[in-house]
Amino acid sequence: MKSILNFRSLALAAFCAFTSVLASAQPQGLPATKEVVIGISDAYVPGGFDSEADAYVVANGIFPNGCYRWKGAEVKDVNAFNHEVTSTALVSQGMCIMVLIPFTKEIRLGKLQSGEHHLKFLNGDGTFVEKTMKIE
């Protein structure tokens, strides 16, 4: 009987020690993230939009590692027919898989007037990709 009590006490002590180690190993929150402007390699501009439909493009690029996560794109209307698109990602701080990760994202432009629109996809390093879109 005494050996069973000693075993239970020992098992309880080991369990308490193990759970305290696990609790101290848990992160105290999400890793810190920062927002960065990312580059767009190319964009596909579908045809057939009219002034009543929401126009969109499909942009693609490559994240430099696994810590990057798509956040979104901001579309700035310079004027009625010129638009600048800036794409952003969230980058988490910490250990990352160090491989290039391709991405493809749809970017909504909204309703545009009839005519030829010039789209400029701005990259974070001062370069850009330019495309045109015809709205009927």
Question: How do residues 6-36 score in pLDDT, each as one tens digit?
Answer: 556 655 555 544 444 334 433 556 678 999 9
Q: Number of folded domains in the chain?
A: 1
What pLDDT, in 10s, does the model give residues 71-119?
A: 999 999 999 999 999 999 999 998 999 999 999 999 999 999 999 999 9
Nearest to 87 by CA among 68, 107, 67: 107
- Is 20 part of a structural domain of the chain? no
State the DSSP string of 71-112.
EEEEEEEEETTEEEEEEEEEEE-S----S-EEEEEEEEEEE-
d(CA 39, CA 36) in angstroms, rounded, equals 10
The model's pTM is 0.74
- Is 24 part of a structural domain of the chain? no
- Is 25 part of a structural domain of the chain? no
How many of the other CB atoms lie within 10 Å of CB of 13?
A: 10
